[in-house]
Structure 1
Amino acid sequence: MGLHSIGELIAQRVAECGRPLVVGVSGYGGSGKSTLARELVEIVPDSIRMRGDDFLDPTRSHQRSPDWDGVERARLVDEVLLPFLAGSAGSFRRFDWGIGALGKSEPVPLGDVMVVDLVGLFHPEALDFLDLTIWCDVDLATAQARGMKRDAAVGRDHSRLWREVWVPNERDFEANFAPRERADVLHSTY
């Protein structure tokens, strides 16, 4: 499904829902999740983006895991999604990559739509809190190549992590949780 069709679907869901709506965008690392999330926020009125990297544990996300253990889905749900869905005040702490720890508490943003982009998002811990799920539909080899190219462009050499941790984690997560099949929408990023 293309970008504008997804935007129309979100608008329809907002009208039907009668409360704030959470759109989950997931896919392999390097598949285009962040790009799609930014594009959706540009075209969907009263929408905000919650960056998934703010909910990664930097140590655990660099370790082998069958369920992307380094993705702090419970913290995302408890601190952000539950208050947002209720339209109530809440606060959360982003992971601050500059200082290597959780940052200062800040208010949960309010709006009609929150777009969350995160690897390993389509997991039982989070699925019930996502009103619309979008999978960035690109094969793992292509996503890996894109991710490695993106990392190299900003001076990061994560080659070993891609080969030994992230790609195996993606394969395990796919085998255990079938995230592509959990998606309401497949968005090709080729």
Structure 2
Amino acid sequence: MDMTSIIFNALQPLCWIIPVVFILFLVRSPWFKGRAGELIVHYRLKLLPAKHYKVLTNVTLPTENGTTQIDHLVVSQYGIFVVETINIKGWIFGGTYQPIWQQALFNRSSVFKNPLHQNEKHIKTLQYLLGVDETAFHSAVVFVGDCTFKTEMPDNVVKSVSAMMHYIHTFKKPLFTELQLKQWVASIEGTSFNPDLCN
């Protein structure tokens, strides 16, 4: 047996270990968790009756300082729902007016921007684009990971997709015409940098 064969036989088990390790790192990455959470919310939002709700996903709009990316927009006669998705585990500490929220998981702690404040930026951008008063918008934040709120959260911050759907269904009074909705969707689709809004 020559040296090449010996090395090849010794390294052969690594051929399946390396892809498995790569997949494990990918699945545990914040990017993957975020995308998985967004997909869960997206498919649930798509169950809303298409006659009354238009769902747009990954909307990237220009701002004064660059761009802003909105996870989900639900344009309806009951208002425009701006949905931020967060897929994290652990204890969540935060409040409506706190700029920074905290996640505690085991003995580790990390901070993240208040998602309600992120949605405010999204709403301001949409107000400017559509020429619509801020009362037309409903901000919603949905946590899809296994988390527990350790501080009191407002009604529009929820920890399940079902609770998000319930929040959306609490708005029952029609505010806008079908023509307005079509115009708004066309404006958003025409301005967004993302060509796959309605997938």
Which structure has more relative contact order (CA 8 Å, sep 6+)? It is 1
Tell me which protein shows more helix as a share of its residues. 1
Q: Do they fold alike, i.e. is TM over 0.5?
A: no
Larger radius of gyration: 2
- Which structure dedicates a bigger proportion of its chain to strand? 2
Q: TM-score range by the shorter chain?
A: under 0.3
TM-score by length of 2: 0.26
